[in-house]
Amino acid sequence: MRLLTHNMLSSNIKGVTNGFPLLIEVEKVVEKQVDFNEDFLRNMFPKIEWKALVEASRTMGYTELPENAESSMLDSDEFLRKFHHALIELHLEEGALVCPETGRKFPVNKGIPNMLLHEDEV
């Protein structure tokens, strides 16, 4: 699971009002190289919850992202590279996503988060 995905997901258990961002329990992180595409990053930037991305990347052991970001920073190549790396190259291979409200764990196995709800959560 890349952090782009993490930035999109929330716990959708019935009754949970604040399911975002999910906490990350790390067992194994791998880096997967992705071709750099500036247009893609520019398109994604305004849709990303920056705080959640910074927190998540730190949990995954990457501390290079600045605390705050604004669109003018997209002109810096250095910033774009960091953003690219954190958003789509860090990959949670094994671990779990944890609902911030209920503590329910959504397991991540072989890079695939299982967001399916149990019967009593629908």
Partner 1 sequence: MWYLCVFYHRLLEYRKPEFESLAGLFGAFDGTTTGLLEWKLPEDHHPDSPFHFVNIPSEEIARNIASRSILVKGIYELWGDGQSFEELEEAVKSYPDERKLPYLSRDSTFKINVESFGKVISFEEQNNRLQKLAFVPFKGRVNLKKPDHNFFLMDNDDYGSENGLPPIVHRRIFFGREIGTADRKILQTYQLKSRKYLGPTAMDAEMAFLMANQAQVRTGKLVYDPFVGTGSILIAAAHFGAMTMGADIDIRVVRDGRGPDCNVWSNFKQYGLPMPLSLLRADNNLPPWRSGLKEMFDAIICDPPYGVRAGGRKSGGRKLLKGVVAPYTVPDDKRTGHIPSTAPYSLVECVHDLLDLAARMLVTGGRLVYFYPVLRDNESVDPNFPEHPCFKLVASCEQILSYRYSRVLLTMIKIAPYTEDIAEAARIKHLEFKENHLKWLEDGNLRSAVFEPADIHINGSSDAKFGTKPKYRGKYV
Binding-residue pattern over the window 4 to 23 for partner 1, x denoting contact by CB under 8 A: xx--xxxxx------xxx--
What's the closest the beta carbon of residue 38 comes to partner 1, in angstroms? 8
Region binding partner 1 by CB under 8 A among candidate stretches 36-44, 53-61, 62-70, 73-81 = 36-44
DSSP per residue, 63-103: --S-S---GGGGG-HHHHHHHHIIIIIEEEEEEEEE-TTT-
Total residues contacting partner 1 by CB under 8 A comes to 39
Instruction: Tell me the window of 23-31, 63-71, 77-85, 114-122 that interacts with partner 1 (CB under 8 A).
Output: 114-122
Q: What are the Cα distances from residue 39, in Å, to 68, 70, 79, 84?
A: 21, 16, 14, 11
Binds partner 1 (CB under 8 A): choice among 27, 30, 32, 51? 32
